[in-house]
Amino acid sequence: MYDAIIIGSGIGSLTTAGLLARAAGARVLVLEQHTTPGGLTHSFRRLGATWDVGVHYVGDMEPGSRPRQLMDYLTGGALTWNRMPAGYDRFYLPGHGLDVTIPAGADEYQRLLTSLFPHEKTAIRRYCRDVKRAYSWMSLHYAHEMVPPRAAPAVLLAQRALAGHALERTQHYMERRFRDPALRSLLTTHWGDYGVEPSRSAFVAHAMIVGHYMNGAWFPRGGSAQIARMIEKGIVGAGGRILLAHEVDQILVEDGAAVGVRVTDHSGAVPLTYEERAPIIISGIGARETYQRLLPTTGPTGGLTARVREKITGLGHGGSAVTVYLTLDHYPEGVTGANVWINTDTGLADPARMTAGLLDGHPRSAFISFPAIKSGEPHATAEIVSFVMPEAFERWAGTRPKQRGRDYEALTSSMARALIDLAESAVPGLKDAVRYVEVGTPLTVEHYTSHEGGCFYGLPLTPERFHADLGTPSTPITNLILTGQDAGMPGIVGAAMAGLSAACKALGPAGYPRINRALRTAPTGARAPRTPPPHPRGDAGAGRYTATVEHASWITPTIRDITLCLPTRATWEPGQYALVRVAPYQWRPYSLATPSGRIVRLLVDTRTRGHGAAWATHAAHTDEVTLELPYGHFLHDAATGDTHPDDTPRRRRIFVATGTGIAPFLAEFEQGLRADDVLLLGLATTSEDPTTRLDTPLPRVIRCVSREDAPGCFHGRVTHYLRAHGIDPHADYYVCGSPLMVADVARLIRDAGGRVHTESF
């Protein structure tokens, strides 16, 4: 039995798990529904470029600060923080004629505001004082949740003395304190950092963000995705484990106490449900999701949680966002890595007005970030974020990514164009530098994180939330603890500090002094005893293996064919993939190109210039490689789901691939090639054809070569071929390869009434 089970692997969950493991030697099981750990600290990749989906900058990371001490401890000192430019935030407010870069340092900040608005000098001084007091008020709120019970009353008394304006609405404070509307707009345009507009937010939410970045901003070198893997090392070292593709369906409660979870393992081809028990259950997926989805809402448990659920419902929802992810062929002149906030309105934010403008193609505000500059990654990237009300996307609720229809695609394309145009007004030259565009909406957030409506900041930071005493790890259920942003504040540091609070709760009255002593005396983490972390169900589901490279060769000038040998036999289905550790804390997904067994074959495109490409390029015979497998359901889902009542058992299969997208099909061809199968292969030139050096059985191959007129090949792209020869309504199409190709082919097939199953890399 594990000492604790933690639901979700966001930074709050990982902080709690890492502290329990490192400071107390506890065996912790972390269950994550996604196939990537880290929650909103994870990243995704397209064509070698990387975007950090939830981390844009982090404050309070100067050496010696409490958050820095905590992160150094959790990661064993492995995480390096890059300092952003001294002017880390730029505010472009054309309606007020302002273009202001915010400096690091409290004195510099106050001097800048006073120089811009000398007539508000006294109010600015009072504002800076009020921000400091509200920041201290929230810090004591955290402390109250951490310290032993005997010390809690004294902390609460000190907190009350600092209450001041903390729970006043931000807009009310601004309108009461400042006369100049331009100053009010400048001070509140970054409300997107905490997700609730000034008319609803508590002033303490605003103050926490201002105070958080007062000494500047930082970003993790190499990107935020590695944070989870760094913390994982300490968890595994103490005998714990992070299990991916494991969705918790229910928290088990007996006699008013949490005793375990019912979880479904989605890592295999067939989902398997089982129960796992532990003396402590910790949920990091959000208060709303925990109380309304994982706990019974009727019976004795429903009675215990009724009051909390009523409070949560009364708060309403926080905000969500539309994000445009861009790959650039260069950075426009003047881009330094600082964030850019754009606000074309002259009044305080109105989410309904902002949402209507964005949907209509006339966005009023945006946040622009350049993640690769901050992380040190080689590909030029940008993100444009615009906050929206999640209700605007309700018509597509319940739909799956890439299957939401032409109206959704048209809307996302329109929003992307409009946001790029708006960003161009503040960053000239950005539009011409764009070479790849992808759009995420509140539906995207909800799909990957389970946050209802895509409200990724959790419970809204309104005065009502604080009055309802909801920002706490404590719950009405014995042995059930909350962690993450709903147990504290949003953001990396806010959720991590809540994770610290939750760990203190889990360890009882001695928890705070025990953890505090560990942080003080072992800043890079104590060594925990290393015991094998068994899978809760033996050999079922995905496992971690140390494999050996048996063979590595080039099958095209840019594709590396790598064969690995596992220490024991593993089982997977064609279409599943492995996660491969390509650098100390960097993992990449690669399709399994062989059927089940001990031999794993991978095809790796080295043009991406990333960690995976470097690993594949230098892989050599006898090298050891750590990998986890299997994950995914690409071909298996296609064979068993989404069928029509009149379907015959066997439909003709047409496989469409570009580059290494052929890999999952190779496993299927080797396991069960059919006489009428067809492979439609997209190539730029015949030199890129991987099939000429493959020893796998292949169906009839139709090569579509776009950049040369080659004998025996179709001259053009795969989309040109499909348009010329038509879509077979009696066939199943399986499409894998570059995101742009997959999107174009899938759209073409669906528009013609065909059935298509897709995967992109």
What pLDDT, in 10s, does the model give residues 154-165? Answer: 999 998 888 889
Q: pLDDT confidence of 644, banded at 50, 70, 90?
A: very low
pLDDT at residue 637 is higher than 60: no
The rounded distance, in Å, linking the Cα atoms of 79 and 324 is 28
CB environment 532-542: b (16+ within 10 A), e (fewer): ebeebeeeebb
* Count of other CB atoms within 10 angstroms of residue 725: 11
Could you report the per-residue pLDDT of 439-461, keeping only the tens digit for each? 999 999 888 888 888 888 999 99
Helices (H), 29-180: 66-74, 106-116, 121-146, 152-161, 170-177
Which residues on adjacent β-strands are paired with residue 589?
A: 579
- Per-residue pLDDT tens over the stretch 52-84: 988 999 999 999 999 999 999 999 999 999 999
**Band of pLDDT at residue 521, cut at 50, 70 and 90:** confident
First vs last C-alpha separation in the chain = 38
Q: What does DSSP assign to residue 294?
A: I
CA distance 383 to 321: 12
Rounded-to-integer distance, Cα 276 and Cα 274, Å:
7
pLDDT at 639 over 60: no
* Residue reference for tokens 């105070």: 211
Distance, CA of 99 to CA of 563 (rounded, Å): 55
Question: Has residue 90 got a pLDDT over 80?
Answer: yes
Closest CA to 714 of 727, 726, 701: 701
pLDDT at position 452, please? Answer: 86
Lowest mean pLDDT among 21-30, 148-157, 341-350, 629-638: 629-638
Confidence of residue 636 (pLDDT cuts 50, 70, 90): low
Helix (H) or strand (E) holding 443: helix 442-449
Residue 111 has pLDDT above 70, yes or no: yes
With contact defined as beta carbons under 8 Å apart, do 542 and 599 qualify? no
pLDDT exceeds 90 at position 618: yes
Q: What's the pLDDT score for residue 1?
A: 86
| Contact assessment for residue 442 and residue 388, using Cβ atoms and an 8 Å cutoff | yes
Rounded CA gap, 692 and 687, in Å?
10
Stretch (H or E) spanning 83: strand 81-83
Q: How confident is the model at residue 641 (pLDDT cuts 50, 70, 90)?
A: very low
Which amino acid belongs to residue 263?
V
Q: Please tell me what DSSP assigns to residue 39.
A: G
Going by pLDDT thresholds of 50, 70 and 90, the confidence category of residue 227 is very high
Angstrom distance (rounded) from CA 671 to CA 658: 21
Q: In the structure, what pLDDT confidence band is assigned to residue 539 with cuts at 50, 70 and 90?
A: low
DSSP string, 525-541: -PPPP------TTTT-S
Among the listed ranges 103-117, 442-456, 672-686, which one has the minimum average pLDDT value? 442-456
Of 2-6, 403-407, 711-715, least confident by mean pLDDT is 403-407
* CA distance linking residue 523 with residue 275, whole number of Å: 36
pLDDT of residue 537: 55
Give 645-652's long-range contacts (Cβ < 8 A, gap of 24+): 650/674, 651/730, 651/731, 651/732, 651/755, 652/676, 652/677, 652/678, 652/728, 652/730, 652/731, 652/732
- Are 611 and 586 in contact by the 8 Å Cβ rule? The answer is yes
Which of 336, 249, 324 is closest to 294 using CA atoms?
Answer: 249
Q: Do the bridges between strand 731-737 and strand 755-760 make them parallel or antiparallel, or are there none, so unpaired?
A: parallel
What is the maximum span of the chain, computed from C-alpha positions, in angstroms? 84
Other beta carbons within 10 angstroms of residue 521's beta carbon come to: 8
This prediction's pTM: 0.93
- The pLDDT confidence band at residue 531, using thresholds 50, 70 and 90, is low
Q: What are phi and psi of 205, to 5 degrees?
A: -65, -45
Dihedral sign for Cα 360, 363, 367, 373, please. Answer: positive
pLDDT above 60 (res 526): no
Q: How far apart are CA 272 and CA 251, in angstroms?
A: 17
Sheet containing 28-31: which strands, arranged edge to edge? 241-243, 28-31, 4-7, 281-283, 480-482
Q: Give me the phi and psi of 323, to 5 degrees please.
A: -125, 130
Q: Is the pLDDT at 628 greater than 60, yes or no?
A: yes
pLDDT digits (tens, 9 = 90+) for 540-569: 578 999 999 999 999 999 999 999 999 999
pLDDT bucket at 600, cuts 50 / 70 / 90: very high
Q: For a pLDDT cut of 90, what percent of the chain falls above it? A: 82
The Cα-based distances of 691 to 111, 432, 605, 662 in angstroms read 66, 37, 15, 9
3-state SS of 202-221 is EHHHHHHHHHHCCCCCEEEC
Residue 532 has pLDDT above 50, yes or no: no
Strand partners, 323: 385, 440
pLDDT-based confidence at residue 42 (cuts at 50, 70, 90): confident
Res 572 pLDDT > 90: yes
Q: What local confidence, expressed as pLDDT, does residue 289 receive? A: 95
3-state DSSP of 298-348: CHHHHHHHHHHHHHHHHHCCCCEEEEEEEEECCCCCCCCCCEEEEECCCCC
SS3 at position 638: helix
Instruction: Indicate whether 697 pLDDT > 70.
Output: yes
> pLDDT band at residue 434, thresholds of 50, 70 and 90?
very high
* pLDDT one-digit tens code per residue, 379-428: 999 999 999 999 999 999 988 887 888 899 999 999 999 999 999 999 99
Q: Give CA 504 to chain center in angstroms.
A: 26
pLDDT in tens, 354-372: 999 999 999 999 999 999 9
Q: What is the mean pLDDT of the chain?
A: 92
Q: How confident is the model at residue 522 (pLDDT cuts 50, 70, 90)?
A: low
**Residue 447 Cα distances to 55, 324, 398, 444, angstroms:** 18, 17, 9, 5
The pLDDT value given to residue 448: 84
In whole angstroms, give the CA distance from residue 142 to residue 505.
12
Confidence of residue 536 (pLDDT cuts 50, 70, 90): low
